[in-house]
């Protein structure tokens, strides 16, 4: 027995066992002493029968202490019991120092000897980290009759040919560094421990160091590093290759939990593992690194996965999933709902309480996104303009007819296929909206490739995180994007948009160009086969306004459903002419059969759209539809002076204005109505995961506001009215609890009940990309996507959005949603944008109003007494008691929409100011 003084470890778990060797580095029969952390005897003493065994294998230079949270979870009285055996490999942790160099194959054999001595039968789930991942997989391959599943955290089983091993490992292997860095000193241990994010607590760090006090205890650390098979000449290379290839044949559930900020095992190794275990559940913990088991709670996810909660997997330890868990929950209706208005294109009927699955339309004919393009190209409209882009001087800089567009798409698709793009290949598109992006997007979709769209609106850091996390096979970009790829180390074979000079191509590691592929693709090639409708087609990244941007996976079928929903809801038909100041609609335009033009603006910065640029684009195609974000519309109004008669006439012919991405103020719409006098103004509500969800017109917004003011309609008011569900969608809420959470699972549509908004529709996302936990959370109410927004219905069936669930303020006597109070405050003279945030511990938060003043305040800080009084009074009209009022020159907003206020950032800033900190800009 080893003396135990390690935080988080029950002394009863620590044990040693003598194990006779059967093969490997030792003579058969040699007895070696192993140290384990094993909760098996404890479970037996309590009379608990475990569902199976987790066999946990650490890497270098950790030890069994790494798995203490799994041991605790497996022993928890409210958790299904699992035996957890966390081993200290020989020469590591508190196991015997053998004095023998042990290679990969030896360690796999050693582990088999140990499990035989323990009498482990089944089911066994292996858990591995670092090089313990490879060893655990080697054991799994040799014991498949006992194997029930595989869990891996930051590890690798394959080093790509021609690609060097990570720099940190190259340094550790260098002859001048190796012995001193890994054995003579404790540098390798300290560097590894420093990779934790956040840093390890001192007691935890000391526990990790405990088995390796002195050079005589660190020989195994150095030998482990020396056994890294850097290339095919290494003695352990063959064993590693056997494991790597053998993994492809494992037919058991797998869970991959990953820390992306790992300088050793980067996302490229995760991608390789996914290729070998394609059915694995995958979750990347943004911000976590190499020691992911220390950085994040992995015990919760592991035991959720073992139990198969939610019906998305078979319980690994046996048992069944309730049939009810896999059925969509039916929303509870009000006892006496008000009659729904007659359905119109902009006002669909209130949805039926019958809730089919997301894929309810799967029995209908699947019409690919590109089919309308082909039909228009082949018909009388073939010579008409299909897509255009504008120059800064107001002229059309480039355009393609429907026939030319179809020909270009076919040529680029063929060229991409010849360049190696295949079904399932990930292609990151770093191309601004316009002709080139339209061509390459539809070419990739026709090939069955998966387009990855993460725009520069995420900022350099967010964009880099998104690209690296999606691990594209190809990256197609403009010169600026390719330069960023070189500097920031983005993955993927690189293709430029235009032909580049040879020197520039070499500098940016560019293989070819879209122009060259189009020329090459014009040669005769086999006819392309339509891809599987239910295969992934796109990974679209969210705005990142409430945390790291998430990749949202859409299948071909769901993208098509999005197109059909937009067409049915908004009446956009072939022949429409669309000015798209928002990238998703620029790309949907051709699929709708609409002529599309991108105005002269930076679409990643919506506030750069001017009235002149909008009018020029509208005039160029005689536009009937305009889509622009609220921030873009504000700048259009700010720059409308001097627009000129021709520009006014062009905007006067617009029939439909769409604006989304953030709440749109009624006053803003009123001003836009004067600028576009003949347009019907609509503000669809939606998100990257489901676009759109509801729709409402300007007239309907005014009617809803009048209902709220008069009190004629129950539930009207306190938020932004976003209308009724769009064609094919159902919406409900999960009521908020007293602590501000939406922990229930019963959807309701009763008027006046505030809760998390749920949506069910054929065009809802397929999943989140490599975010298994996030996906599970979003679908934990079966048959619904949980949006993270909060709101309520009124008795007319209209939805009112009150803010984000993450921004709900939990005051001592109330749960406060921010939007209603913010709207009231923004009506105060001298106030522009307002934000309501919470400061302090949950349940006792103070409600703080942060306002952007008009004119702009010179500095941030407490508001003047008179303004503060007016703000408090406005908030009281919504039943909100404001404790403090602060002013800022500018509200911090998201980069993509320039409109979503970053309330989380403001909350941190307000807390610092109110505690006496310096009132710099938030």
167-208 pLDDT, tens digit per residue, is 877 777 878 888 888 999 999 999 999 999 999 999 999 999
pLDDT band for position 349 (50/70/90)? very low
pLDDT of residue 525 exceeding 90, the answer is no
Are β-strands 31-38 and 83-87 bridged in parallel, bridged antiparallel, or unpaired? antiparallel
pLDDT tens, residue by residue, 715-766: 888 999 999 999 899 999 999 999 999 988 999 999 999 999 999 999 999 9
Q: Are 309 and 781 in contact (CB under 8 A)?
A: no
pLDDT band for position 330 (50/70/90)? low
Reference 628, options 692, 575, 583, 572; nearest CA is 583
Cross-strand pairs, 884: 848
pLDDT of residue 319 exceeding 50, the answer is no
pLDDT band for position 665 (50/70/90)? confident
Handedness of CA 639, 644, 646, 648 (dihedral sign): positive
pLDDT tens, residue by residue, 464-477: 999 999 999 999 99
Q: Are 557 and 362 in contact (CB under 8 A)?
A: yes
pLDDT band for position 350 (50/70/90)? very low
CA distance 181 to 221: 10
Average pLDDT, stretch 846-869? 93
Q: Are 580 and 595 in contact (CB under 8 A)?
A: no
pLDDT band for position 606 (50/70/90)? confident
CA distance 442 to 409: 6
pLDDT of residue 363 exceeding 80, the answer is no
Average pLDDT, stretch 72-81? 92
Among 210-219, 330-339, 678-687, 793-802, the least confident range: 330-339
pLDDT of residue 360 exceeding 90, the answer is no
Cis peptide before 847 (omega within 30 of 0): no
pLDDT of residue 436 exceeding 90, the answer is yes
Tokens describing residue 378? 């082949």
Highest mean pLDDT (candidates 53-62, 229-238, 542-551): 53-62
pLDDT tens, residue by residue, 807-821: 999 999 889 999 999
Domains of the chain: 11-311 (3.40.50.1820), 371-604 (3.40.50.12780), 684-769+793-801 (no CATH), 807-914 (3.30.300.30)
Between 199 and 526, the more confident residue is: 199
Share of the chain above pLDDT 70, in %: 92
Q: Are 549 and 602 in contact (CB under 8 A)?
A: no
Amino acid 329: pLDDT? 57
Average pLDDT, stretch 423-445? 94
Between 312 and 438, the more confident residue is: 438
Provide the 8-state DSSP code for 361: G
Average pLDDT, stretch 882-889? 94
pLDDT band for position 345 (50/70/90)? very low
- Helix count (H) and strand count (E) of the chain? 31, 36
CA distance 806 to 903: 9
Amino acid 23: pLDDT? 83
pLDDT band for position 309 (50/70/90)? very low
- pTM for the whole structure: 0.90
pLDDT band for position 697 (50/70/90)? very high
């Amino acid at each position: 027995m080893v003396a135990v003084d390690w935080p988080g470890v029950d002394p009863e778990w620590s044990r040693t066992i003598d194990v006779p060797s059967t093969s490997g580095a030792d003579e058969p029969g040699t007895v070696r002493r192993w140290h384990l952390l094993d909760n098996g005897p404890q479970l037996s003493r309590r009379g608990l029968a475990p569902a199976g065994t987790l066999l946990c294998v650490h890497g270098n230079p950790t030890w069994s202490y790494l798995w203490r949270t799994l041991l605790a979870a497996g022993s928890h009285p409210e958790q299904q019991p699992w035996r957890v055996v966390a081993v200290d490999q020989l020469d590591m942790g508190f196991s015997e120092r053998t004095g023998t160099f042990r290679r990969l194959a030896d360690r796999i054999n050693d582990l088999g000897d140990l499990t035989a001595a323990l009498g482990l039968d089944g089911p066994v789930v292996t858990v591995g980290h670092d090089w313990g991942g490879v060893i655990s997989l080697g054991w799994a391959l040799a014991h498949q009759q006992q194997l029930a599943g595989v869990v891996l955290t930051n590890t690798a089983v394959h080093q790509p040919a021609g690609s060097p091993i990570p720099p940190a490992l190259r340094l550790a292997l260098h002859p001048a560094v190796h012995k001193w860095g890994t054995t003579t000193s404790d540098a390798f241990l300290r560097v590894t421990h420093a990779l934790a994010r956040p840093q390890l607590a001192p007691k935890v760090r000391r526990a990790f160091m405990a088995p390796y006090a002195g050079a005589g205890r660190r020989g195994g650390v150095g030998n482990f590093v020396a056994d890294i098979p850097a290339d095919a000449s290494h003695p352990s290379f063959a064993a590693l290759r056997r494991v790597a290839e053998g993994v492809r044949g494992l037919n058991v559930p797998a869970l991959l939990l990953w820390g992306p900020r790992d300088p050793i095992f980067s996302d490229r190794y995760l991608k390789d593992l996914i290729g070998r275990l394609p059915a694995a559940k995958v979750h990347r913990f943004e911000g976590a690194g190499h020691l992911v088991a220390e950085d994040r709670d992995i015990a919760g996810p592991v035991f959720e996965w073992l139990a198969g909660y939610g019906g998305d997997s078979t319980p690994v330890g046996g048992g069944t999933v309730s049939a009810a868990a896999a059925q969509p929950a039916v929303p509870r209706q009000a006892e006496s709902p008000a009659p729904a208005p007659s359905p119109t294109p902009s006002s669909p009927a209130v949805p039926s309480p019958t809730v089919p699955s997301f894929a309810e339309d799967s029995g209908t004919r699947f019409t690919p996104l590109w089919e309308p393009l082909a039909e228009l190209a082949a018909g009388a409209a073939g010579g008409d303009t299909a897509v255009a882009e504008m120059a800064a001087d107001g002229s059309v800089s480039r355009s393609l007819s429907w026939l030319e567009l179809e020909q270009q798409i076919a040529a680029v698709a063929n060229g991409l296929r010849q360049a190696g793009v295949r079904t399932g290949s990930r292609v990151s598109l770093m191309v601004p909206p316009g002709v080139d992006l339209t061509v390459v997007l539809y070419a990739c979709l026709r090939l069955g490739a998966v387009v990855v769209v993460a725009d520069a609106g995420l900022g350099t850091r967010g964009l880099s995180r998104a690209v690296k996390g999606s691990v594209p096979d190809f990256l197609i970009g403009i010169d600026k994007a390719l330069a960023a790829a070189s500097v920031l180390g983005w993955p993927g074979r690189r293709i430029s948009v235009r032909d580049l000079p040879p020197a520039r191509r070499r500098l940016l590691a560019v293989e070819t160009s879209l122009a060259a592929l189009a020329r090459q693709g014009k040669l005769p090639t086999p006819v392309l086969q339509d891809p599987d409708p239910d295969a992934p087609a796109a990974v679209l990244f969210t705005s990142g306004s409430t945390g790291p941007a998430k990749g949202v996976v859409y299948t071909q079928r769901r993208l098509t459903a999005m197109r059909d929903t937009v067409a049915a809801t908004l009446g956009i038909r072939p022949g429409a002419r669309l000015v798209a100041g928002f990238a998703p609609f620029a790309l949907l335009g051709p699929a709708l059969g609409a002529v599309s033009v991108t105005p002269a603006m930076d679409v990643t910065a919506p506030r750069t759209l001017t009235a002149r640029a909008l009018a020029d684009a509208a005039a160029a195609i005689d536009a009937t539809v305009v889509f622009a974000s609220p921030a873009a519309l504000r700048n259009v109004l700010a720059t409308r002076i001097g627009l000129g008669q021709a520009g006014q006439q062009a905007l006067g012919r617009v029939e439909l204005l769409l604006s989304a991405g953030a709440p749109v103020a009624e006053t803003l719409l009123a001003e836009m109505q004067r600028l576009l006098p003949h347009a019907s103004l609509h503000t669809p509500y939606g998100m990257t995961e489901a676009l759109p969800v509801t729709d409402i017109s300007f007239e309907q917004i005014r009617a809803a506001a009048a209902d709220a003011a008069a009190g004629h309609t129950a539930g009207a008011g306190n938020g932004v009215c976003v209308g009724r569900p769009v064609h094919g969608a159902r919406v409900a809420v999960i009521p908020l609890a007293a602590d501000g959470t939406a922990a229930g699972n019963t959807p309701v549509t009763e008027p006046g009940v505030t809760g998390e908004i749920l949506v069910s529709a054929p065009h809802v996302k397929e999943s989140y990309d490599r975010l298994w936990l996030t996906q599970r959370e979003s679908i934990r109410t079966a048959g619904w996507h949980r949006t993270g927004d909060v709101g309520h219905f009124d008795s007319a069936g209209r939805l009112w959005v009150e803010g984000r669930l993450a921004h709900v303020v939990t005051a001592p006597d109330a749960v406060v949603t921010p939007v209603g109070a913010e709207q009231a405050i923004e009506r105060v003279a001298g106030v522009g944008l307002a934000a309501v945030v919470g400061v302090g511990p949950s349940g006792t938060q103070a409600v703080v109003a942060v306002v952007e003043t008009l004119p702009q305040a010179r500095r941030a800080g407490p508001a003047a007494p008179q303004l503060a009084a007016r703000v408090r009074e406005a908030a009281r009209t919504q039943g909100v008691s404001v404790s403090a009022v602060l002013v800022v020159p500018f509200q911090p907003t998201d980069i993509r929409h320039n409109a979503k206020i970053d309330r989380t950032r403001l909350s941190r800033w307000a807390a610092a100011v109110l505690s006496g900190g310096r009132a710099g800009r938030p």
